[in-house]
Amino acid sequence: MTSVLTRALHLCLAVLALAAGLASAAHAQDKNAIDMPKPVLAATPPMGWNSWNHFNCGIDEAKIRAQADAMVASGMKAAGYQYIVIDDCWQVSRDAAGNIVADPEKFPSGIKALADYIHSKGLKFGIYSDAGLKTCGGRPGSMGHEYQDAATYAQWGVDYLKYDWCNTGTADAQSAYALMARALREAGQTYHHDILFSMCEWGTAKPWLWASGVGHIWRTTGDISDAWIKNEKSKPWENGMLDILDQQVGLESFAGPNHWNDPDMLEVGNGGMTDDEYRAHFSLWAMLAAPLISGNDLSTMSKATTDILTNADVIAVDQDALGVEGHRAVKDGDYEVWVRPLAGGDRAVILLNRSGDAHPMSVDWATLGMAAGEKADVRDLWSKAVSKSVKGSYSATVPSHAVVMVRVTPKA
Ligand code: GLA
């Protein structure tokens, strides 16, 4: 009898402990719960331009307007690019009421006028801030001013906020990003102007595990640099393009419509890589369902750069409606096969040759989840050559530091 009572008591205690645990877990979640839905602003990964990779802090309103003009004139707008985003160093101080103040020398017409100009071109406007007291460039951050800044942005007509993670001290990333997400959503409702939330936390607190309800995109790594792999010119926090690629392996399942992994902005056209390497960079970012945020000077870019950034077939892979991020299916030393399932049953495939020599490569149908006897048309997304009714596998010689990217369409 005693033992029955003891067991019953233990059971009660266990149930109580479980209930307490669940309650505290719920409480922990509450702390970061955002009781307003995230606006759907990124059903497919956002496309645009950002000032940082090319201009760093050297920005002013004339340069930003010129980028908006060039986005239209170059055909990038027609290809799907939408956002013009000013990164760090537009802000200098706060006024007596705590309102953020733009640099009056660099932006004499004010940020609202710049937003209006960009909107007049049929484009959208993005801005940058930081969850800490100061931005990475030492300008005023949003810590303690989250609601005030969100309201200012909405009144200016800001459509996109990139929110960085410098100078945050002991702040908790999950709470800090939830706080700004809430502020943006409230401002969006008050001013009828929704703002896409781009989280730039560098992957330190693994945002893919908790941010799908918070931001539309989240950075997964430290900064990209204009290099195939990290070199002696790269700063300690910078990565080469392939270093970033390697860090995406395993994160695929966390991305989807309205919540994407962000392997950082594009370096295409900035001069540190060959055109083959830039074609590889652009192809791989499309494979990753990455935001396509160009980072070069659009007003002076070469035809080769324009052709890369506006390749409609590669962009269509990035923007595919199924929203499934591609993954590395084969790694054989320097030779890799990447695969992305697409809406309607097509597959995007990249044969990546990281080595110093050209190399024959192939992908077999089993890797694509297809029967060996199945016929498919294979379209090379760069050369545009089509191979009809291919069976079993597809082979190509891939130049050094380059990709072959194809779209495989199984025949009905
Ligand atoms: C960090 C970010 C970069 C850029 C700079 C600006 O390094 O990761 O993308 O915004 O700050 O200072």
- Indicate if ligand 1 lies below 6 Å from the C-beta of 87: yes
Token digits for 408?
Answer: 């495989």
- Indicate if ligand 1 lies below 6 Å from the C-beta of 277: no
Residue 2: per-residue pLDDT: 41
- Indicate if ligand 1 lies below 6 Å from the C-beta of 218: no
The closest residue, in CA terms, to atom 6 on ligand 1 is 88
Q: How far apart are CA 352 and CA 326, in angstroms?
A: 14
Ligand 1 centroid to Cα of residue 87, in Å, is 8
- Indicate if ligand 1 lies below 6 Å from the C-beta of 164: yes
Ligand 1 centroid to Cα of residue 197, in Å, is 15
Q: Which atom of ligand 1 is nearest to the CA of 264?
A: 9
Q: How far apart are CA 326 and CA 250, in angstroms?
A: 10
- State the burial class of residue 62 (Cβ atoms within 10 Å of its Cβ: 0-12, 13-18, 19+): exposed
Token digits for 251?
Answer: 């994160």
**287: part of which helix (H) or strand (E)?**
helix 275-287
Token digits for 15?
Answer: 């149930």
Token digits for 145?
Answer: 């001013």
Q: Which atom of ligand 1 is nearest to the CA of 219?
A: 8
- State the burial class of residue 12 (Cβ atoms within 10 Å of its Cβ: 0-12, 13-18, 19+): exposed
**393: part of which helix (H) or strand (E)?**
strand 393-398
Residue 33: per-residue pLDDT: 86
Residue 32: per-residue pLDDT: 84
- Indicate if ligand 1 lies below 6 Å from the C-beta of 137: yes
Q: Is 144 helix (H, G, I), strand (E, B) or coil?
A: coil
Q: What is the pLDDT along the chain (412 residues), one digit of tens a residue?
A: 344 444 444 444 444 444 433 444 444 455 688 999 999 999 999 999 999 999 999 999 999 999 999 999 999 999 999 999 999 999 999 999 999 999 999 999 999 999 999 999 999 999 999 999 999 999 999 999 999 999 999 999 999 999 999 999 999 999 999 999 999 999 999 999 999 999 999 999 999 999 999 999 999 999 999 999 999 888 888 999 999 999 999 999 999 999 999 999 999 999 999 999 999 999 999 999 999 999 999 999 999 999 999 999 999 999 999 999 999 999 999 999 999 999 999 999 999 999 999 999 999 999 999 999 999 999 999 999 999 999 999 999 999 999 999 999 999 7
- Indicate if ligand 1 lies below 6 Å from the C-beta of 252: no
Residue 30: per-residue pLDDT: 56
Ligand 1 centroid to Cα of residue 139, in Å, is 12
Mutate to test the pocket of ligand 1, among 164, 202, 237 (most ligand atoms within 8 A of CB): 164
- Indicate if ligand 1 lies below 6 Å from the C-beta of 200: yes
Residues paired with 328 in a beta bridge: 338
> Is 223 marked active-site?
yes
- The single residue listed with the structure tokens 């309205």 is 258
Q: How far apart are CA 239 and CA 271, in angstroms?
A: 16
User: Please, which residues have CB within 8 angstroms of residue 24's CB and are 6 or more apart in sequence?
Assistant: none
- Indicate if ligand 1 lies below 6 Å from the C-beta of 163: no
Radius of gyration of the chain from its Cα atoms, rounded to whole angstroms: 24
The closest residue, in CA terms, to atom 9 on ligand 1 is 223
Q: Give a three-class secondary structure readout of 66-113.
A: HHHHHHHHCCHHHHCCCEEECCCCCEEEECCCCCEEECCCCCCCCHHH
Ligand 1 centroid to Cα of residue 51, in Å, is 10
Q: What is the pTM of this model?
A: 0.93
Ligand 1 centroid to Cα of residue 128, in Å, is 9
Residues paired with 199 in a beta bridge: 163, 218
- From 130, 164, 226, 346, active-site residue: 164
Provide the Cα torsion 314, 227, 131, 32; round to 10°: 50
